[in-house]
């Protein structure tokens, strides 16, 4: 017999919208730590790519820090500690 279970996790709409901008769409069955890890992987990938562009001369050194700050702002959900993700997604 198939039984419907309620989702374990409920992601706030503001967090869902931010994650959707990165192509992430967690469900009620997706643990927040898994989503945070995926987002962290994307962030580190973008930082590495930006550093490679700096080394290749595609980004001027004086503009690099501004781009890093903009990237940090875009990835604002990572400012929440892992335990905070679990608290807000209960």
Q: Please write the tens of the pLDDT for every residue from 55-74.
A: 999 999 999 999 999 999 99
Smallest CA-to-CA distance from 75 within 54, 55, 50 is with 50
DSSP string over 34-50: HHHHHHHHHHHHHHHHH
- Sketch the domain layout of the chain as residue ranges: 30-88
Q: Token pair of 36, please?
A: 């945070």
Quickly tell me which residue has 């643990």 as its tokens: 31
The model's confidence at residue 75, banded by pLDDT at 50, 70 and 90, is: very high
CA 72 to chain CA centroid, nearest Å: 10
């Amino acid at each position: 017999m198939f039984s419907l279970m309620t989702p374990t996790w409920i992601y706030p709409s503001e967090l869902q919208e931010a994650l959707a901008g990165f192509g992430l769409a967690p469900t009620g069955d997706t643990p927040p730590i898994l989503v945070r890890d995926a987002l962290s992987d994307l962030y580190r990938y973008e930082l590495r790519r930006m550093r490679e562009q700096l080394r290749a001369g595609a980004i001027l050194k004086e503009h690099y820090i501004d781009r890093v700050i903009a990237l940090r702002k875009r990835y604002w959900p990572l400012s929440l500690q892992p335990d905070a993700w679990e608290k807000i997604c209960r």
